[in-house]
Amino acid sequence: MSSKKPTVYDVAKEAGVSIASVSRALRKPESVRPATRELIDRAIERLGYVPSGSAQSLAARRTGVIGLFMSNLDELDDLQDFTLSSVDDARVKIDPTHHTDYHRNDSLYYDQVLRGCELETWRRGLSLMVNLGLDRNEKGLTQLAGEMAGKVDGLIVMARSVPDSTLEFLKRRVPVVMVADAPSDNEAGYDLVRVSNRKGMRKLVQHLIDTHHVDDFAYIAGPDDSPDNHKRYVGFCEGLRSRDINPETVPIYRAGFSFTVARTITLDMVTRHKIPRALVCANDQMALGVCKALTDSNIRIPQDVIVTGFDGIKESETNAPRITTVSQPMRNLGRAAVSTMVQRLENPDAEPYAIELPVTLLLRESSEGEISKKRPATNI
């Protein structure tokens, strides 16, 4: 008799069902058909499977763990040593209304993708292991990712987290699912999950031209090495060309997805009296910085300037005015990545999966002005 302890994968194979069915049978038996539940129960009994994380982690063939490799988070730049202490006290601190800095974009985006990964692995009875690049060089990244690959069944990798050469190294060891983008010279060779960045930005630009008759734009871009930034700019140019506006006539400012840099760029525009009719930003973080600069300069939004963003982070909705944005399903992006990984593990010889999730153009006050609660939805 084998000394290897069985995992949820073994149960699914023995019963001839999916891993998701096994997970549901263990967590919510009433949600599974009786015949399927009986197959799973018999498989569990034959294998001697124990549904606990510690038992799964000891299995040799499968760990029941999915890895998530992310790039460096901005907060790590300011991270200091933490001293554990116990102080029974309640302190008072003045909390100013206006802060000099703003939340970092990486956290706002990655937090939601991470949450989606956590939810989907939990739903499927799996575990999630997370690691960060931490500004390591290529050799260090390869070593770190390689060590992680030896502890998981497959790796979900956020775009720009590791060099292309490291990805090829990882792909030879474990299944790899890319989020947002894959190596440009071998995109078709990877399982890839992303959102419709290009079409979302194109539809936004067309709306501004068709509905608000905007013909005077400026574009505030993110980092040059960001795949999302690239796709959004392509969509921006497509939207202009579709309405006979030459993209080469539109000034581009690069703010690196930064609230602070976008705010500084906008203040400079104000000083030079070079404010366009519409400022289109490649993400919400920069749009928030633009709004802050315009409001501080007593420039009205949208009466004087229309401002738009991209992503759909919570702060775009709580800003005054609320920011028109293209909302991407960040949490579902994480869930889709885990679902794609499970499909790959269950079908190792299948053709690469290419998943693209739709986005939603949210029309708000920063472009539309006052929006009545009774106003009918716009067909976009």
- 70 close to 132: Cβ distance less than 8 angstroms: yes
What mean pLDDT do residues 151-164 have? 85
If you ran DSSP here, which 8-state letter would residue 244 be given?
Answer: T
- pLDDT for the residue numbered 99: 47
Q: Do domains 8-57 and 197-328+361-368 have the same CATH topology?
A: no
Mean pLDDT score, 244-251? 97
Distance CA 352, CA 191 (A): 5
Cα 356 to Cα 201: distance, rounded to the nearest angstrom: 15
Q: How many CB atoms lie within 10 A of CB 5?
A: 17
Q: With beta carbons less than 8 A apart as the criterion, state whether 326 and 312 touch.
A: yes
Tell me the three state secondary structure of residue 16. Answer: coil
Predicted confidence (pLDDT) at residue 224 exceeds the cutoff of 90: no
User: What are the φ/ψ torsions at residue 175 (nearest 5 degrees)?
Assistant: -60, 140
Find all residues with CB under 8 Å of 304, minimum gap 6, and list them. 275, 294
- Please give the structure tokens belonging to residue 98: 């206006």
* Closest to 226 measured CA to CA, from 285, 273, 271, 275: 285
Can you state the percent helix, strand and coil of the chain, rounding each to 5?
45, 15, 40
Size of the chain, expressed as the number of residues it contains: 380
What pLDDT is recorded for position 109? 76
The confidence band for 354, taking pLDDT boundaries of 50, 70 and 90, is: very high
Helices (H), the chain: 8-15, 19-27, 34-47, 53-57, 105-123, 138-149, 164-171, 197-212, 227-241, 259-271, 284-296, 314-318, 330-346, 365-368
Closest to 148 measured CA to CA, from 68, 57, 73:
68
Q: How far apart are CA 149 and CA 256, in angstroms?
A: 31
Query: Which pLDDT value is given to residue 342?
Result: 93
| Amino acid, res. 252 | I
User: Region 240-269: what's the mean pLDDT?
Assistant: 95
DSSP state of 351: P
Output 168 or 300, whichever has higher pLDDT.
300
Smallest CA-to-CA distance from 126 within 47, 9, 3 is with: 9
Paired strand residues for 90: none
Stretch 26-42: mean pLDDT: 83
For the ranges 42-51, 176-185, 295-304, 344-353, the one whose mean pLDDT is highest: 295-304
Would the pTM count as exceeding 0.85? no
Contact status, residue 259 vs residue 287, Cβ threshold 8 Å: no
Weakest mean pLDDT among 78-87, 154-163, 294-303, 362-371:
78-87
Superfamily of domain 8-57: lambda repressor-like DNA-binding domains (1.10.260.40)
Q: What one-character DSSP code corresponds to residue 321? A: S
CB atoms near residue 85 (< 10 Å): 5
Between 200 and 143, name the one with better pLDDT: 200
65-77+101-195+330-358, what's its fold?
A: Rossmann fold (3.40.50)
Evaluate whether 348 touches 341 at the Cβ level (below 8 Å): no
Query: Top-level CATH class of 197-328+361-368?
Result: alpha beta
pLDDT over 90 for what percent of the chain?
48
Mapped onto helix, strand or coil, the DSSP state of residue 5 is coil
What residues does each domain of the chain span?
A: 8-57, 65-77+101-195+330-358, 197-328+361-368
Q: For the chain, what is the mean pLDDT?
A: 84
